Amino acid sequence: MPPWVHPSAIVDAGAEIGPDTRVWHFCHVMAGAVIGARCMLGQNCFVSSQAKLGNGVRVQNNVSLYDGVELEDDVFCGPSVVFTNVKHPRAFVSRREEYAATKICRGATLGANSTVLPGVTVGAYAMVGAGAVVTKDVAAFALVLGVPAVPVGWVSHAGERLDFAADGIATCPRSQRRYQVNEGALAELTAGAA
């Protein structure tokens, strides 16, 4: 299916929007923006000319994606997530050459009202809690909460918090996938591995 754009949204000529993507009320997608297939932009979202969204991305209401922000496949942004791209902004000082890239890796979730500072990478399938302020990189599968955000545990591919047994193995209650922490990183165990 071709992309669907609500009549109140503005999509500038030169923006790329993939098939089966939906752009809802009062959004603005600038020329040069790249949005993949099967994405959803909720009401009142903004996508800058140098922002990039992969396939299957869901961006809830009131999110602005500025130059340098990249959301890989299957990323979820809750309502009113905040991205910034300048570390030391001043209204009267041009900092365009200082925009810092921000990358949200495949399958990661950013909770409602969370803030991601410029130059940060959020790892694959990580989960940022609602209202958290991410000031440094987040490991893949890590659960981070607070201001500033700190790691408090691990989540599965399905987004379930993992509880580890005495043998150091956790099983996702939704998918039954098994995980273990090795050298500070979460690893999925293959069938029969321990």
CA angle 137, 78, 65 (to 5 degrees): 65
Where does 4-159 sit in CATH, by number? 2.160.10.10
pTM here is 0.95
CA angle 156, 147, 174 (to 5 degrees): 15
CA atoms of 4 and 39, how far apart (whole Å): 10
Indicate if the pLDDT at residue 84 is higher than 50: yes
Domain spans, the chain:
4-159, 160-194
Amino acid at 80: S
Indicate if the pLDDT at residue 190 is higher than 80: no
User: For the segment 91-143, what is each residue's pLDDT rounded down to a tens digit?
Assistant: 999 998 899 999 999 999 999 999 999 999 999 999 999 999 999 999 999 99
- Chain centroid to CA 72: how far? 7
The reply to whether omega before 148 is within 30° of 0 (cis) is yes
Please report, rounded to a whole number, the percentage of residues in the chain having pLDDT higher than 70. 98
pLDDT band, residue 191 (cuts 50/70/90):
low
* 19-28, 32-41, 95-104, 183-192: the lowest-pLDDT one: 183-192
pLDDT band, residue 194 (cuts 50/70/90):
very low
